[in-house]
Amino acid sequence: MKQQTIILTGGGTAGHVSLNQAILPSLLELGYDVHYIGSEQGIEKELIGETFPNVPFYGIASGKLRRYFSMKNFTDPFKVLAGMMQAFRIIKKVKPQVVFSKGGFVSVPVVMAAKLAGVPVVIHESDVTPGLANKIALPFASHVFTIFEETLKHLPSDKATCTGSIIRPELLKGERAKGLAYCGFTTLKPVLLVMGGSLGSVVLNDALRKNLPELLKQFYVIHLCGKGNYDESLESLSGYKQFEYVTTELPDLMHAADFIVSRAGSNSIFEFLALHKPMLLVPLSAQKSRGDQILNANLFKKQGYAEVLQEEALTKESFMKSVYTLTGRKEEMVETMSKTQKPKTPDEMASLILNYQK
């Protein structure tokens, strides 16, 4: 019997790769031949290559989809067209039974090519409202899965299902003691983990670093600052440990944290929720994004899982005030989080996707 095949796609940020990383072992265990299509220079090539070196990775051309005026809006459609032709050739060669897309700009030409090749497409949307890439891809999809129940009202009712969050099993297996040891910390003080996403956040980094003298009186601080944002002048600062980016150590660091300050990407905040970590969310401003993180953060605040500080209001003083508010609500937040529905496993998500294979 011929081995069955699946193509995964998604990229641009770690958030558009993490679910694919989570379900990949489940698909391999089921005996599927898994292939990945990403962008030529995207973070997905590194993330998939590091963890799954035996999974074939194909880099294709990808144009950015912009909601604002740019001369590149006139040239990037040709990149999308080139990417679609490249993806079509890959699909015809690999012959997958289904394509699964986690979104991001690179997924658009892949989804279009799959439809053209007669291959079913399953999309995953993790924000409250669909992103532009998924909006464009929607007509070519057989089905869309969402994390938020609220997202369903933005999608066709006959091909959308809310699954809730999907959490990587290794995240739940992290160990606090290992995370503390990795940073050289003890149990004398609570740990504040500050992270700005895979690309880092300059405004969040600045607000944290300006407050380090005050914060270190009460906390150990783990800082995931993003590539290119490492500050060598702070290397010898006691109680402060900075990393540009971590992969295998992340579960241990998250288990070591008592509080988390972060952007409000949906994958991350649902991971914090699953681990019952009180969080202060600083969503990307509407000027820098389509506002999806603001919706995510406000919904989590409404449900009692998070404190929110809007980026426009982020100052040295407001940052500290919000951290103090967060620490004062720890027990209340943890209790609220403990009552939430358990996240789906990657095995369960893989089964849902495979229901749509041809």
**Choice between 13 and 154, residue whose per-residue pLDDT is larger:** 154
> Do 264 and 228 share a structural domain?
yes
Structure tokens at 345: 């496993």
Check whether residue 36 and residue 153 sit in a common domain: yes
My answer on whether 174 and 158 are in the same domain is no
Q: Is 187 known to sit in a ligand binding site?
A: no
Average pLDDT over residues 59-77: 63
Q: Tens digit of pLDDT for each residue in 272-293? A: 999 999 999 999 887 777 778 9
pLDDT at residue 201 tops 90: no
Please indicate, yes or no, whether residues 70 and 150 belong to a single structural domain of this protein: yes
Per-residue confidence band for 267, with pLDDT thresholds at 50, 70 and 90:
confident
| Residue 154 predicted with pLDDT over 80 | yes
Query: Confidence band (pLDDT; 50, 70, 90) for 295?
Result: very high
- What is the mean predicted confidence (pLDDT) over 248-268? 95
User: 36 and 147, same structural domain?
Assistant: yes
Domain count along the chain: 2
Q: Are residues 201 and 158 in the same domain?
A: no
Q: Is 303 annotated as a binding residue?
A: no
The answer to the question of whether 9 is labelled as a binding residue is: no
The 10s digit of each residue's pLDDT in 300-344 is 999 999 999 999 999 999 999 999 999 999 999 999 999 998 888
What's the domain range around 183?
A: 168-337
13 annotated as belonging to a binding site for a ligand: yes
Q: What is the pLDDT of residue 294?
A: 94
Q: Is residue 358 part of a domain?
A: no
Q: Which residue has the higher pLDDT, 11 or 218?
A: 218
15 and 59 assigned to the same domain: yes
The answer, yes or no, to whether residue 72 has pLDDT greater than 60, is no
